[in-house]
Amino acid sequence: MSDTNGPRRAAQQMQEAARYLARATRNLEAPSDSHAVLGSLLETQGFIAQTIRELAEWHRAAVAGTHYPRPHNESARGVMTAVSELDLAAQEADALQETLSRAHGGSSVVSWLETPVPESPEPDASARNGDG
């Protein structure tokens, strides 16, 4: 199987994009970018959850003698473990998507300032004490 296209290449591209995003979010240029990034993460997480469910179904349908050697108990146990863990991962991925949705909703009501408002200078101590 070639890794120039198909699921393997798509997974590699997603990994590269996630690595880039992890670095890029260290310093957001504009505060409102955080809301846009959360929106993209939310949508992406939905696709990740779908991919996990599809991988679980693929493993569930794997056939001894077609997808792995028969008889090979270790392979059969590995497939069953993969199905069980992928089912759990899909549930957790759905929960993460719900959490991201709440974070995105919270961010949506923030009135982000694109440029910082300068702090007003503190009055000097003598003016505060009436000595001035």
Over residues 22-50, the pLDDT tens digits come to 999 999 989 999 999 999 999 999 999 99
In a domain, 64, yes or no: yes
Give pLDDT, residue 129.
64
pTM of the model: 0.78
| Residue 132 predicted with pLDDT over 70 | no
**108-131, pLDDT tens digit by residue?**
999 999 887 788 777 766 666 666
What is the extent of the structural domain holding 63? 32-112
The answer to whether residue 21 is domain-embedded is no
Distance separating alpha carbons of residues 35 and 30, to the nearest angstrom: 10
- In the chain, the number of structural domains is 1
Phi first, then psi: give them for residue 45, nearest 5 degrees.
-60, -35
For residue 46, being part of any structural domain is answered with: yes
Q: 56 with 81: CB under 8 angstroms? A: no
- Residues 53 and 90: beta-carbon distance below 8 Å: yes
Taking the CB of residue 37, how many other CB atoms lie within 10 A of it? 16
% pLDDT > 70, the chain: 90
Is residue 86 assigned to a domain?
A: yes
Name the DSSP class of 68: B
